[in-house]
Structure 1
Amino acid sequence: MSDLFASAGPSAPLAEQLRPRTLEQVIGQRHLLAPGKPLRLAFDSGKLHSMILWGPPGVGKTTLARLMAQAFDAEYIALSAVFSGVKDIREAIDRAQRNARQFGRHTMLFVDEVHRFNKAQQDAFLPYVEQGVITFIGATTENPSFEVNSALLSRAQVYVLHALSAAELEQLFDQAAAKALPDIDFTDDARALLTGYADGDARRLLNLLEQVRNAAPTHGVRRIDGEFIKQSLARGAHLFDKGGDAFYDQISALHKSVRGSDP
């Protein structure tokens, strides 16, 4: 199997460059990944099983799926339910069957936003999960009890992932700043604004740091304070999804961060 993490070159987004390559590098989800906890036991046992990863955006669902495929030396096929249809599902299953028949290799099929598939599309996976052709891993931000078919749900273990805590976001901030922004000095209020605005979402924090890096002065001492952050975010209107609820969530998080950082 090719290295699932090899493509994150210097031109890749910061969130992709800093994606954890090992289980030990994952920040958060200790209730699942600490020694003796459910997902850690699955890794340690060497037994891969179908599962649904349920949690908000930016908490590591895709990363965990990739790490599992790597740990179990499984062929990794990823689909997005937003952009995929019946043809894509059929092609993925055909590829999994060829992997087993020609190479004796098991396939892990990861479906992001699985709740976007309708009942017929979700049902299409069932016989291949039952036959062991694929190990199915679905990621969703919605309650799977309502959004995933009961037949598929009965064949998969549900794991709930949590938004990152303030301390975990601080840890991620320190790691990202040291690796990707070593020549930028962040004041305490700048850190508070960025981690507050991230609101438990690791990917959002890394995207914000990338925006700050691009907006920072290119010469001299690059000291970033809270005022610079506010101005950068105000200019970076493209970050907001104005077509959905995420826009209002992001604006609310920004306002709370600004209020919390002001004396």
Structure 2
Amino acid sequence: MPRRPVVPPATGLFAESDALKPLAERMRPRDLDEVVGQTRLLAPGSALRRSIEAGRVHSMILWGPPGCGKTTLALLLAKYADAQFSAISAVLSGLAEVRAALAAAENRFAQGQRTVLFVDEVHRFNKVQQDAFLPHIERGVIVFVGATTENPSFELNSALLSRCRVHVLDAVPAAAIAAALQRALTDRERGLGTLELRLDEGAIETLAQAADGDVRRALTFLEIAAELADDGRIDATTLDQVLADRTRRFDKSGEQFYDQISALHKSVRSSDPDAAIYWLTRMLDGGCDRSYLARRLTRMAIEDIGLADPRAWHMALDAWDSFDRLGSPEGELALAELALYLAVAPKSNAAYAAFNAARERVRETGTLEVPMHLRNAPTKLMKGLGYGKGYQYDHAAEGGIAADQQCLPDALANAVFYAPTERGLEGQFRDKVDAVRAMRRQPKSG
């Protein structure tokens, strides 16, 4: 059976300019009221909305995930400000294209017309390319609108950031995506209204959820489903075909990556096994390097469990080794079991804190001399100079500890770096550490 057309009947101007455009492009919002999912930023009465509606647009960076409306907002800025819209992509353009776009904007500026210059994926431009925009922003030749999925604090230079306001766009909620899908289904001019498609109950919600916050992706799913639909019906079988190979949003080196590894680490630290296994699975699902996860889990065992349960350290190394031997997907279970164990294990950062405190004290105090009684004395000359004199062999002392033997430099006598907790194994020797320290603070014999 031939496939059904997925665009409305072509007539007039629509036939010439829009009939071949993807559904997501045809359904792009024409005004602020049609924008979905950005109520925090564009709610009626909000500062940005009032500014746009009044035509008082400013240079800005739009930071948000794919499909949240960055390009749409830039187009609307130009429309409301009665300005020329010009777009370049940092993926496809070099310095020559940037200069050409700026030269065209200069000509329009000389004729009294503003230009909204939209730079997609602006984080991909290097510092020299970013600097090229600065004088034109300062003089008002362009209203600069940069779109990025990456954290501007890390990817854009400070000079550009100082001349632009950063607006954060959110991933679009499923309910808002569902509203956009419903509009596309009923719109007879730009959408699929003329096809009179019939959807099984819950189909729109399924498509909206599968889009994972991306309106463009949802509309693409709907367009494909309409193409595959038998007799105009989109049922569960059709949806299974459309959504079979979908993936979740994840970047392997950007903001989402660092946010999720932070969530995993903090979930382990908070002794929440459910959250820990969830974030680990999210990162595995996103294609995160498994060896990186094994290394970070090992770091958690050392930093956050520490001496409260030294077995966690060994289990981390065993899980890492098991993954290296088994590979994916079998070896991932070893990482999952490790994450669960770390989450439920007793926690102590006492060793981590002691190491940091000692390192800071070393930096502050410099090269303090080793006490004479602790020095090595392999030669007669060194013995004659007093090296090793007065050293007490602890195994020969009562209780196995020479309690009045000072092992720190004189300038750090009685300094405390390690503070054992009462949790897990560490709690079993806390009393001993405290007792020995108390003994060492007693007046020395002899």
Work out whether the TM-score is over 0.5.
Answer: yes
Matched ranges for 1:104-119 at <5 A: 104-119=112-127
1:208 aligns with one of 197, 216, 221: 221
Give, in whole Å, the separation in 1 of the partners of 2:198 and 2:52.
Answer: 38
The answer for the alignment partner of 1:127 in structure 2 is 135
Deviates most, 50-59 or 186-195: 186-195
Paired residues of 2:200 and 2:234 also in contact (CA < 8 A): yes
Paired residues of 2:115 and 2:142 also in contact (CA < 8 A): yes
1:86 aligns with 2:86: no
> Aligned residues, how many?
238
Paired residues of 1:8 and 1:17 also in contact (CA < 8 A): no
1:19 aligns with 2:28: yes
Paired residues of 1:53 and 1:160 also in contact (CA < 8 A): yes
Q: CA deviation at 1:131?
A: 1.4
1:145 aligns with one of 144, 153, 168: 153
1:34 aligns with one of 36, 43, 51: 43
Structure 1 unaligned segments of length 5 or more: list them: 254-263
The answer for the alignment partner of 2:78 in structure 1 is 69
1:232 aligns with one of 214, 235, 242: 242
Matched ranges for 1:135-174 at <5 A: 135-174=143-182
TM-score normalised per structure 2: 0.50
The answer for the alignment partner of 1:257 in structure 2 is none
Paired residues of 1:190 and 1:226 also in contact (CA < 8 A): yes
1:181 aligns with 2:192: yes
Give, in whole Å, the separation in 1 of the partners of 2:49 and 2:201.
Answer: 35
Give, in whole Å, the separation in 1 of the partners of 2:243 and 2:237.
Answer: 10
- Per-residue displacement from partner, 1:107-146 (whole Å, max 9, x unpaired)? 1111000001011100110111111111110000011011
Give, in whole Å, the separation in 2 of the partners of 1:155 and 1:38.
Answer: 18
Deviates most, 43-52 or 62-71: 43-52
Give, in whole Å, the separation in 2 of the partners of 1:6 and 1:156.
Answer: 39
Give, in whole Å, the separation in 2 of the partners of 1:215 and 1:84.
Answer: 36
The answer for the alignment partner of 2:107 in structure 1 is 98
> Which structure shows the bigger proportion of residues in strand conformation?
1
Amino acid in structure 2 at the alignment position of 1:87: A
The answer for the alignment partner of 2:7 in structure 1 is none
Amino acid in structure 2 at the alignment position of 1:208: F
- Per-residue displacement from partner, 1:14-34 (whole Å, max 9, x unpaired)? 001111111111112111111
Give, in whole Å, the separation in 1 of the partners of 2:65 and 2:126.
Answer: 21
What value does the CA root-mean-square deviation take over the aligned residues?
Answer: 2.6
Deviates most, 8-17 or 136-145: 8-17
Paired residues of 2:53 and 2:80 also in contact (CA < 8 A): no
Give, in whole Å, the separation in 1 of the partners of 2:208 and 2:50.
Answer: 31
Paired residues of 2:228 and 2:238 also in contact (CA < 8 A): no
Q: CA deviation at 1:194?
A: 1.1
Paired residues of 1:193 and 1:226 also in contact (CA < 8 A): no
What SS is found at the alignment partner of 1:36?
coil
What SS is found at the alignment partner of 1:84?
coil
Paired residues of 1:74 and 1:105 also in contact (CA < 8 A): yes
The answer for the alignment partner of 2:291 in structure 1 is none
Give, in whole Å, the separation in 1 of the partners of 2:15 and 2:165.
Answer: 29
What SS is found at the alignment partner of 1:73?
coil
Q: CA deviation at 1:6?
A: 11
| CA gap 1:49/1:6 in 2 versus in 1, 3 angstroms | farther
Give, in whole Å, the separation in 1 of the partners of 2:16 and 2:61.
Answer: 26
Give, in whole Å, the separation in 2 of the partners of 1:22 and 1:16.
Answer: 14
What SS is found at the alignment partner of 1:209?
helix
Give, in whole Å, the separation in 1 of the partners of 2:99 and 2:16.
Answer: 26
Q: CA deviation at 1:46?
A: 2.6
The answer for the alignment partner of 1:260 in structure 2 is none
- Per-residue displacement from partner, 1:214-255 (whole Å, max 9, x unpaired)? 1112x4xx3222222112333xx6x779xx86xx99x969xx
| CA gap 1:201/1:252 in 2 versus in 1, 3 angstroms | farther
| CA gap 1:176/1:189 in 2 versus in 1, 3 angstroms | same
Question: What percent of counterpart residues are identical?
Answer: 50
The structure with higher relative contact order (CA 8 Å, sep 6+) is 1
1:56 aligns with 2:65: yes
Paired residues of 2:85 and 2:115 also in contact (CA < 8 A): yes
